[in-house]
């Protein structure tokens, strides 16, 4: 008789964490939702455990006995200084995971170009990945834009597609490789059996520009828009404008929009190939996100 796998998810109350928790619970694992404070609505079959990365309580105790821990922490939504917080949290977590004897750590960061200047957001995610690889032999998963109801990136794209006026700056032609959240969650569960200490990329079936993504979403939503060229529109101004048409917190909007000029296309080993996941088309994952949005009102 096989022992139930013990899985911890740091950041389980977030968009990706909630879905990954449900996936592992359905697989029969013993799942700990490692969160800053106890939350309601934890998936049936999972346990809420305090994991205090600020240092007021032991992180080692929260991690002890885990077979695999997913690190889904990003401090962007907390505003300025997020890079320093991300760095501090990653170092503290890596030390605790090593001390607690966690067998595998999986970190989800962001796809970023291997050359060229990174935004503050992508630079921080890249740094956190390196800290976790060195500190606890983590498997670093670099994911592109995640499409799914509740994702901050999806909300920004959807709300831009709904807005009747579309400005098209030059960086709207940046290439990216969006992925559906359901494909990503399945791949992350299977990633628990992979070797760590390395980087793998996650991207969907198609490489698109941000402009073509928004155009496709608008078409599927049935939105009518007036499209105007604005080649020199700076990302800071675009971020401020985007914050006026969406419910995503301003610090997070700014961080995400500031990253738009950075190409996010797979250029290394891909997780989907390693774990046998065939990603769905962009139109398919967008239609699913729209249906989920409508169900949730």
With beta carbons less than 8 A apart as the criterion, state whether 44 and 25 touch: yes
Cβ(67)–Cβ(42) under 8 Å? Answer: no
Backbone angles phi, psi at 170, to 5 degrees: -60, -35
Domains of the chain: 6-147+180-202+262-279 (3.40.50.720)
User: In this predicted structure, what is the pLDDT of residue 282?
Assistant: 98
Distance CA 159, CA 26 (A): 32
Q: Position of tokens 């929260």? A: 62
Residue 247: the pLDDT is 87
- Check residue 162 and give its pLDDT: 95
**pLDDT for res 250:** 84
pLDDT in the model for residue 58: 78
pLDDT value at position 47? 92
pLDDT tens per residue across all 297 residues of the chain: 567 899 999 999 899 999 999 999 999 999 999 988 766 556 778 999 988 898 767 799 999 999 999 999 987 656 668 889 999 999 999 999 999 999 999 999 999 887 767 888 899 999 999 999 999 999 999 999 999 999 999 999 999 999 999 888 998 999 999 999 999 999 999 999 999 999 999 999 999 999 999 999 999 999 999 988 888 888 888 888 888 889 888 888 888 899 989 999 998 779 999 999 999 999 999 999 999 999 987
When computed from its CA atoms, the radius of gyration of the chain, rounded to whole angstroms, is 19
DSSP track, 238-297: HHHHHHTS--S-HHHHHHHHHTTTS-B---S-BHHHHHT--PPPHHHHHHHHHHHHHHT-
């Amino acid at each position: 008789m096989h022992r139930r796998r013990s899985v911890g998810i740091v950041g389980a109350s977030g968009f990706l964490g909630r879905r990954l928790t449900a996936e592992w619970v359905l697989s029969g694992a013993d799942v700990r939702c490692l969160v800053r404070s106890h939350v309601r609505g934890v998936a049936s079959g999972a346990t809420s455990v305090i994991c205090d990365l600020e240092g007021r309580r032991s992180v080692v105790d929260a991690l002890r006995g885990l077979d695999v821990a997913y690190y889904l922490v990003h401090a962007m939504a907390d505003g300025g200084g997020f890079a320093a917080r991300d760095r501090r949290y990653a170092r503290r977590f890596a030390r605790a995971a090593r001390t607690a004897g966690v067998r595998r750590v999986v970190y989800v960061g962001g796809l970023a170009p291997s050359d060229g200047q990174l935004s503050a957001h992508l630079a921080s995610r890249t740094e956190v990945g390196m800290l976790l690889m060195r500190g606890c032999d983590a498997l670093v998963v670099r994911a592109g834009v995640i499409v799914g109801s509740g994702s901050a990136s999806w909300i920004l794209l959807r709300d831009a597609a709904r807005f009747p006026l579309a400005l098209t700056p030059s960086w709207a032609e940046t290439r990216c490789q969006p992925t559906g959240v359901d494909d990503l969650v399945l791949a992350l569960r299977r990633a628990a059996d992979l070797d760590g200490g390395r980087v793998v990329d996650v991207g969907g079936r198609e490489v698109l520009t941000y402009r073509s993504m928004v155009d496709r979403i608008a078409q599927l939503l049935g939105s009518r828009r007036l499209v105007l060229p604005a080649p020199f529109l700076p990302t800071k101004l675009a971020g401020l404008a985007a914050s006026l048409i969406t419910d995503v917190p301003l610090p997070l909007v700014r961080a995400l929009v500031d990253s738009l000029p950075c190409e996010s296309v797979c250029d290394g080993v891909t997780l989907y190939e390693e774990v046998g996941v065939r990603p769905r088309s962009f139109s398919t994952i967008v239609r699913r996100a729209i249906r989920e949005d409508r169900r949730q009102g």
